[in-house]
Structure 1
Amino acid sequence: MGPAQPPVTLEAVAARSGVSRSTVSRVVNGAQAVSPAAREAVERAIAELSYVPNQAARSLVRRQTKAIALVVPEDTSRFFGDPFFATVVSGVHRRLSQSDYVLNIFIATDDDGDKTTAYLRGGNVDGAIVISHHARDRFVDRIADALPVVFGGRPNRMRGTVGDYFVDIDNAEGARMATQYLIERGARRIATITGPQDMPAGLDRLTGFQEALRAADLPDTLIEIGDFSEHSGELAMERLLQRGGIDGLFVASDLMARGALRTLTSAGIMVPEDLPLVGFDDSSVATEVSPALTTVRQPSGLQGELIAQRLLEILAGESPEVETIVPAELIIRESA
């Protein structure tokens, strides 16, 4: 008799069927929020591979706790320092307060994500919401493999995004609108301070910026990368000033824009007289700074409500839209 064969895993079924592990998990656990085509592909792969579900895990998934986890893969300084998080959490709470579910918040990075993952996979919550995740946060994949999950923002998963539910703003279109506005004001050497390139929001806002400039046959290489924090905006602005010749600026978050404004003020550069500036978020920061920011509105409170609504629909056995995209809106104020 030869050695015992290792059990077939969810990963193997996902690879054979061409869908995400979270979709396979939903099929195995009897969830209804799966397209007929995906369900057929998974069931075919299960038969071909002779996959046997873990009955203990299935029983945990089916046990209702009436609790939902909100997972934020950021450090505490970022969570408490960025008004985006307060607004989106308020939206989530507002929607859940109308249901039977309670909200538990988990702040975790990949360094300590194992503890959070073990707790959430242990049957302590019915589903999870994940916001502000990076490519390095691989523990998020393990959560989404075991629980119904809705992402705030386009998913950034290592093994693909087929079947992952998310609610996002049209980041690329918002960046295009901001950049086009600067072009219409006569700017020709427009720079950007963009967000982290391991996050879909950072990638999409850079893409929109570059697309608008290429369409106008203008240079699209005046780029510095920040991390959505105020301090990173200061440092990125210092680097842009060293490059010189800038006559317009798009900053991919209001917090970074506040940092950029501080650097510009120290350098004696007036906004908008010397340099028109457009931010992104329309957070409370936009009206706290002087001049008040022209910015792209990200309706974070509405996003939070929609994220919670999608998860409630999944937990109720419904089949909501996989992708929910909120339109961007340019808000004109004093900075451009």
Structure 2
Amino acid sequence: MSESAVDAVVEEKPARTRKQVVIAWARRLLVVLVLAGAVYQLTGQWDEVSAALLSLPWQSVALSMVAVFAGLFLGSVVWKIVLSDLGAPVTYADAAKFYLVGGLGKYIPGAVWAVLLSMELAKQAGVNRARSFTAGLVATGMGVVASLITGLAALPVLLGGGESRQLLWLFSLLLIGLVFLHPKLLTWLVNLVLRVLRKQPLERRFTGKEVLKATGVAVAIYVLYGVHLWLLVNALGSPSIGTLVLSAGTMGISMTAGLVAFFLPSGIGARELVITGAIATVLPTPQAVALALVSRLMFTVADLISAGVAALVAQLQRKRAAKAA
């Protein structure tokens, strides 16, 4: 056998098993379904929001979009902190891929798809499924706590009565979440999940500093989402600090309401009801409805673009690392 033939045999990749082939095709199918769901929402809302978009100053829309992007990319920071505390340190690019690309799974009804997609992406980067699953649970829990902390700013509106008052029960989740954010209890809870999954427990417990850092970043995310909504409200004539506070609280509660309505793709409907009810206290109801739909459209566009950027950056970094090796 010639030297080149020997090299070819050595370099030949081992044949993939049937299970690996099925998983690879299932992953591709999931990505297609996710993108189809996101595009469906995007096109399905266009007729309702196009008129509202055209009535808004482009500067307000542009700045509002920047706030959404900033919030989305900060979400990757939360994942990076949590994974590091779980003993699975990753680069920001990888964390962004897990969070932003995996997060597109929310556009398919049922919370399981986002979890599965994030786990598969994390597995490709060398993070085992148990660690990525528990990281997703912890990051989601921190997100709920942060959103409800921000949502406290909208309590006066909720207490004012109407249908929005029915959402007051969500704040019971805040009390539970704050208790379980204590490093000892959080470590115990994660180890319990790992035990159920028949995986090794954490090598060390969560640290208070990292928990506070991740939760603080999560609060900043919802403040940015509040700025996003306030810029739209401001463009239609309600430019006050009180409206900014209301917008931040509204986005916090609306995001939690959308998460609770996991059976809906990306919580569609639940989020818009909260935004409409709150903003209708400072703007006419038709304008509040229009802004809720515009906000949804902007988040969908930002989700798709940020996921594409995160996937591209992660791929380029992986190729650069392979060349360096």
**Is TM (by shorter chain) over 0.5?**
no
Q: Looking at secondary structure, tell me which structure has more helix per residue.
A: 2
Which is bigger in relative contact order (C-alpha 8 A, separation at least 6)?
2
TM-score, with structure 1 as normaliser: 0.30
Normalising by the residue count of structure 2, what TM-score does the alignment of the two structures yield?
Answer: 0.31
